Amino acid sequence: MTSQATYKGELRTSCVHLASKNSIITDAPVDNHGRGEAFSPTDLVATAFASCMLTVMGIKANQMELDIADTKTDVTKIMASEPRRIAEIVVTIYMPKKNYSEKDKAIMEHTANTCPVFYSLHPDLKKTVCFVW
């Protein structure tokens, strides 16, 4: 098993990663009857996409002996209705100001756009990724 999620009532869950015992709380968003006091499950999906891109970029950067520490992202999740779902995830990736070659940039962008979460998301979900070099 990977994790356990427990419904705590009032549209809140507590989720535990079993190997590390780290935990997170989720709340339903305000626009869907919740308090919005924590990540919603759909927020986690969008954030996992950005986190996955950064993780595989880090692996590739290590192989290439590039330092991409302090790379940051902004993540925007856009919802649709009927059925309620994530329609689009917009991720802007801010790379540290360094002298990356055009080849390095192409490899990092390709790596990000081929991460496991990218391929796990439904093809109809629009994924907009922008790099700021």
- Angle at which helices 102-112 and 41-64 pack, to 10 degrees? 140
My answer on whether 98 and 45 are in the same domain is yes
Percent of the chain with pLDDT over 70: 100
CA distance 65 to 101: 13
Are 112 and 53 in contact by the 8 Å Cβ rule? The answer is yes
What are the structure tokens assigned to 7, written together? Answer: 């419904």
Check whether residue 88 and residue 27 sit in a common domain: no
- pLDDT digit string, tens, across residues 14-50: 999 999 999 999 999 999 999 999 999 999 999 999 9
Residue 56 confidence (pLDDT) = 98
Containing domain of residue 20, as a range?
1-39
Which tokens in the block code for residue 90? Answer: 């917009």
pTM score of the predicted model: 0.94
Shared domain for 29 and 74, answered yes or no, is no
